[in-house]
Amino acid sequence: EIVLTQSPGTLSLSPGERATLSCRASQSVSNNYLAWYQQKIGQAPRLLIYGASSRATGIPDRFSGSGSGTDFTLTISRLEPEDFAVYYCQQYGSSPLTFGGGTKVEIK
């Protein structure tokens, strides 16, 4: 099973700032099959990024994903008020599918 470790656990930033979230895998993720999700309180998760760097339908271009192998990054170029939420990475390179523990992006 691939274990995903997200860091930091909490990121305190102000609107307009840049957010950089990390996801590290315990072994190489096949084909860079890594996705990112956003979850707001009381809501279901929303797909942001798949294939490490492809934006899902309707996702603003301030969200970008990068990385390969075992190290992946989600970057939010300029935080909007609606971006404060919890973010999860998920690998789908192999079964069982696994999620990271999440990074909370909170308002500073």
Partner 1 sequence: EVQLVESGGGLVQPGRSLRLSCAASGFTFDDYAMHWVRQAPGKGLEWVSGISWNSGSIGYADSMKGRFTISRDNAKNSLYLQMNSLRAEDTALYYCAKGGYSGYIRYFDYWGQGTLVTVSS
Rounded to a whole number of angstroms, the minimum distance from the CB of residue 3 to partner 1 is 12
Residue 101 in contact with partner 1, rule: CB under 8 A: yes
Q: How far is CA 51 from CA 14, 17, 24, 56, 79, in A?
A: 29, 25, 15, 10, 23
d(CA 89, CA 72): 9
- What secondary structure letter does DSSP report for 62? T
Residue 97 in contact with partner 1, rule: CB under 8 A: yes
The footprint of partner 1 on this chain (CB under 8 A) covers a number of residues equal to 24
Site string for partner 1, 9-48 (x = CB under 8 A): ------------------------x-x-x-x----xxxx-
Short-list 76, 106, 97, 75, CA closest to 25: 97
Q: Which residues bind partner 1 (CB under 8 A)?
A: 1, 33, 35, 37, 39, 44-47, 50, 56, 88, 90, 92-102
